[in-house]
Amino acid sequence: MNVSTLIRYTPLASANRLRIIVSVLARHGFEELLDRLGLRRAPFWRKRRPRTVPLPVWKRLKLITEELGPTAVKIGQILSMRPDMIPTELCDELKTLQENLPPASFPMIRAAVEEAFGRPLANLFRDFEHLPVATASVSQVHRARRADDGALVAVKVRLPGVADTLRADLDILEFLAELLEERAPAVRPFRPVEVVRELRKNVRRELDFTNEAVNMLAFNELFRDNPRVFAPRPHTDMVRPDVLVMDFVEGERLDVFLGTPEERRELAELGLEAAVRQIMLEGFFHGDPHLGNLRVVGRARLCYLDFGMCGRLAPALRSALGDCVIALAGNDPARLARVVEEMSYAAPPDLDVLSLESDLMFVMQKFRTPCGGGLLGSHMLEVTNVCREHGLSPRPDFVLVARAMLATEAALKCLWPQLDPAANLSGLAKAQTLRRLIPGLSDRSLWTELEEAGRILAAFPRRADAVLRKLGAGQLSVELKQHDFGRMPATFRQIGNRLGGALVTAALAVSSALVFDSGLGPQVWGMPAFGLAGFALSGLLGVFITFKMFRDT
């Protein structure tokens, strides 16, 4: 589809949005790209010189995203979590996006809440603060009290019009991605159309707050045996696609918490253990646990906020991630190479495994040294870069886990700078993997089970060698024992006799019926005598065979 056709059949708002996007791209020095895409023939095109000082291309793309407003910022924030979908340099730039958005006016928020519930705001909430306690690109949060029970709650409201603008932006992005794939072969390896479609799926999930409520309930169920880790409880009777009511949690950010050194250390270790449990044991994890989404409550509890982005891992991927952590910490490049191949899409036929192991060995050496930072998430992302260099395409779930781990570790380091994830994660990963493989395994029985498994494995090579030596010398024999073989002939005879008797009985009954039908032969009481005799004999035989069967049983 050419641009003129697109404009002709596009709603006015979307056409105007496309005009804005093209103008901003041109202003930041992307005129050559627009010309290659054929957009200079658009009816709104005005050729102009870029007004900005030349900057690196990734920096300019970040500035464009900020200039295009909150919906573009939201798209950029989601993309920043997916270095498997976009170049790493662009991903790093998008992580620094600043929203700088004024809050929506209270009348707009009140109208959105009343439309969602179909009732006046005063009937829903006793108090509703006009100024938000938190703002984001697509929503803002207000403190309120329920009208029925007076409970203190947080009301998360999707900004009016955001959903329509996001849909229009994604339609335009998909159109531009199709043009890129068609007219710019250099970007085809990045699969721009696939990226936009995956982005559309993620945006759709985040815009529906019922999904976030489901995630919060699942998270609290996951930690039901450890109340020190929790999420705000959603009020299920007041959850709508565009409004979410939940408990209001008073807490402190991790970087401003003024607890004792012991409290800070315990909270950091608690957060690290919670992350490993989410990812490797349960397979359900918070996808964006940065500083702004974590709170310290009551000096000893950790609260997670904003469950719009969560990950779910299949059991096989969960196990592979545990192996990945153990291999990284244990300096086992062969094991890590096997794991990353399992966690990637189909490997190229010419994959050089030895070269892959060499590159992974360098990543592991960095992970184990103090100058490497000791952050598992950053090294997992380095592993994904090594995979791409060797033609492997890591699965999106693996990349999301890496980003979540990196955000978690960076946040926990604010609590306890001496935290050493590299030293703690390997043991946690092994313990969680064993608990998943052996349900109900306690800490005390863990080493007992390991010792028993070790004894069995230690004896296996010696016993296998003895079997192979006998096999090679032709001395391996197999002994078969048959129990009660002498009774088998009598049993077969008994079965044969019964089958024969049953066949004779059936034949007599059928022939007697035929005689009755023909009426031939002498008559007794008006019935054929031979037929009566046959029925009598077949009846006696049937009774006899049945009696024998019951007696033997």
Among candidate residues 171, 288, 359, 397, the one labeled active-site is 288
Give the other-Cβ count within 10 Å of 393's Cβ.
Answer: 15
Residues forming a β-bridge with 135: 140
Q: Is 129 exposed, middle or buried (0-12, 13-18, 19+ CB in 10 A)?
A: middle
The pair of structure tokens assigned to 18 is 């496309």
Q: Name the token pair of 372.
A: 């490497």
* 164 is a catalytic site residue: no
- Residue that the structure tokens 């990963």 belong to: 429
Q: Give the separation between CA 104 and CA 155, rounded to whole angstroms.
A: 14
* Cα–Cα distance measured from residue 91 to residue 381, given in angstroms and rounded to the nearest whole number: 12
For residues 384 and 377, the answer to whether their CB atoms sit within 8 Å is no
Quote the CA–CA distance of 191 and 181 in Å, as a whole number.
8
Distance CA 133, CA 125 (A): 17
Strands 301-304 and 229-230: parallel
Whole-Å CA distances, 451 to 397, 432, 440, 448: 34, 18, 18, 5
- DSSP for residue 48: -
Task: Note whether 74 and 137 are within 8 A (CB).
Answer: yes
Q: Which residue has the tokens 């996006």?
A: 97
SS (H, E, C) 176-241: HHHHHHHHCHHHHHHCHHHHHHHHHHHHHHHHCHHHHHHHHHHHHHHCCCCCCEECCCEEEEEEEC
Catalytic residue list = 288
